[in-house]
Structure 1
Amino acid sequence: MGAEGNSDGTVGKALDVLDRVAQAGRPVRFTELLADAAYPKATLYRFLQTLTNQGMLAYDPDRQSYSLGVRLVRLAHAAWAQSSLAPIARPYIDILSADVGETIHLAQLDVGQVLYVDKRNAARPVEMFSQAGKVGPAYCTGVGKAMLAYQTADALDRALDRQSFHRFTDHTLTSRAALLAELEVIRGRGFAFDAEEHEPGIICVAVPILNRAGRAMGALSVTSTTARASLMALAALAPRIQQTAAQIAAEAESWRFPEQQQA
């Protein structure tokens, strides 16, 4: 288990444990968690007990396994309503989806990675990695690069430190330098591409959802396949997607900072 949250003390370590249970995608036993834990057995057990007592984890005594607790469902629902762009963006991406007939993704950055917060399938759906609630890499996805291009220098540096630069396809950018060069191009034209960089045959055009300071709150993309579209065809949709992104941004800022609208 990584020690990523250790610098945040006890709370950070407990959240590391919670993340590990979540990443398993199924109930896990104590021995499984202990196998790659960064903490002593007694410490790991104490964290699990605390998280269970607080309803963040659930313990099954028959199977002797831990799974995510119901309290997280309540917290997730509150976070979705308060922090996610999805509730605000829903009517706008419904219209965009009907207009373009391709897959629409709405995403936000989560600790340097892409969190897909909403999705509309194409008229002819295509199997692909992305699903609402799923986390993906930022350096090789259209939405990820669109958001990275509009971060502050410090935020971008932290995000780049978290990229694996794993080669998923022959088109994947595999170095920090290559990505930085691509981000410069994205800032110049105002939108990003995924040119089969994460999945073979999957392409997209993505635009950032920018606040008044010009920083990315999220990103919006139209995704298709090389079998039925080209990057040039998707690029032609960029102004339409930017229009939708601007509508979402205006709605989000009015919701988050209503006092500015009354001045």
Structure 2
Amino acid sequence: MLETTNGRTLKTTRTSLRILELILEHDGLTLAEIDRIVDKPKSSLHSHLNTLLDCRYVVKNGRTYSASFRLAVLGDRARRGDLEVVATDTVERLAEETGEEANFTVFEHGRLLLLHGSTNQAEHEGEGGFRTEYYLHNTAAGKAILAELGRDHVDRILDEWGMPREIEATVTDRDRLYDQLEEIAGKGYAIIDEEFAPGLVAVGAPVHADGEIVGGLSIGGPKYRINMTRLHEELAEQLLDAVEGMEDALRA
């Protein structure tokens, strides 16, 4: 889903949110550090920070601004209820059954947001650290979701987020991606081969609730341990069974 707005938006609000995202991303920043990243007058940045402080979205320790605990409380309220419970149970069971990494990501605003990753996932996150937000064009769940969407919808997502090359094998050509999506559409699942991270292969599929795509379920791991035959024949079957179980549980 890629929600669009037809009304007026505020650049000042956008700037405040950008500053907050940077503070979260860097685990705290000083005004001077923010000034080097954001192309705004330092006095304006200071006003944005004061507003975030006043609204209790950040705290200040010395010169460093950090995300407040209030954000965690608000984030907890935003969790997806039954979806989180079902996803957590499914992911952990799938990881145990396959011996590989599993995760469920929510499909929102044209991106994938990690709702739950298996407990053995962190060891393979690599030097980039633990990820919580993903593109669709180079992830297994993302490609499987794109394959179900209409071409106009896919175009809007790609226009909004682009197709950045995260590693050498990432597909960055739109026509090539469309060819892949046509092949994926007939299978119900997608496979990536080192398109997201070096040495990582994965299989993913969309999950539906009330007739809408709510997210994607995926299984993956190191290529030295998982060959293409196992991905297509064994793990894809286990994945699709798990998706069916998730969707049944969400209907209950």
Residues of 1 paired with 2:218 and 2:242: CA distance? 10
2:125/2:131 contact within 8 Å kept: no
Q: Secondary structure at the match of 2:172?
A: coil
Residues of 2 paired with 1:151 and 1:121: CA distance? 31
Residues of 2 paired with 1:141 and 1:112: CA distance? 13
Change (3 A) 1:46 1:151: farther
Change (3 A) 1:14 1:224: same
Change (3 A) 1:74 1:29: same
Query: How far off its partner does 1:193 sit?
Result: 0.5
Change (3 A) 1:164 1:56: same
Residue 179 of structure 2 is matched in structure 1 by: 181
2:112/2:215 contact within 8 Å kept: no
Residue 54 of structure 1 is matched in structure 2 by: 55
Letter of the aligned partner of 1:219 in structure 2?
Answer: G
Query: How far off its partner does 1:36 sit?
Result: 3.0
Letter of the aligned partner of 1:227 in structure 2?
Answer: Y
1:119/1:131 contact within 8 Å kept: no
Output the TM-score relative to the length of structure 1: 0.81
Query: How far off its partner does 1:220 sit?
Result: 0.8
1:167/1:174 contact within 8 Å kept: no
Change (3 A) 1:94 1:79: same
Residue 192 of structure 1 is matched in structure 2 by: 190
Residue 75 of structure 2 is matched in structure 1 by: 76
Query: How far off its partner does 1:176 sit?
Result: 1.7
Deviations 1:173-207 (A, max 9, x none): 12122222212221121100011112222111111
After superposition, where does 1:18-37 map in structure 2 within 5 Å?
18-24=20-26, 26-37=27-38
Residue 220 of structure 2 is matched in structure 1 by: 223
After superposition, where does 1:94-105 map in structure 2 within 5 Å?
94-105=92-103
Query: How far off its partner does 1:85 sit?
Result: 3.4
Residue 138 of structure 2 is matched in structure 1 by: 140
Letter of the aligned partner of 1:43 in structure 2?
Answer: S
Residues of 1 paired with 2:150 and 2:83: CA distance? 20
Change (3 A) 1:131 1:105: farther
Change (3 A) 1:232 1:22: same
Change (3 A) 1:154 1:249: farther
Deviations 1:1-38 (A, max 9, x none): xxxx9x620333321221121222x2211111122324
Letter of the aligned partner of 2:227 in structure 1?
Answer: S
Does residue 205 (structure 1) correspond to residue 203 (structure 2)? The answer is yes
Residues of 1 paired with 2:166 and 2:46: CA distance? 37
Letter of the aligned partner of 2:15 in structure 1?
Answer: K
Residue 257 of structure 1 is matched in structure 2 by: none
Deviates more, 1:129-138 or 1:234-243: 129-138
Residues of 1 paired with 2:150 and 2:172: CA distance? 22
Unaligned stretches of 5+ in structure 1? 255-263
Residues of 1 paired with 2:85 and 2:164: CA distance? 32
1:115/1:133 contact within 8 Å kept: no
Output the TM-score relative to the length of structure 2: 0.84
Letter of the aligned partner of 1:15 in structure 2?
Answer: L
Query: How far off its partner does 1:88 sit?
Result: 2.4
Unaligned stretches of 5+ in structure 2? none
Residue 39 of structure 1 is matched in structure 2 by: 40
Query: How far off its partner does 1:233 sit?
Result: 0.7
Letter of the aligned partner of 2:42 in structure 1?
Answer: K
Does residue 115 (structure 1) correspond to residue 113 (structure 2)? The answer is yes
1:112/1:163 contact within 8 Å kept: no
Residue 261 of structure 1 is matched in structure 2 by: none
Residues of 2 paired with 1:153 and 1:59: CA distance? 46
Query: RMSD of the TM alignment (CA)?
Result: 2.7
Change (3 A) 1:38 1:244: same
Residues of 1 paired with 2:31 and 2:112: CA distance? 29
Residues of 2 paired with 1:152 and 1:70: CA distance? 40
**Residues matched between the structures, number:** 242
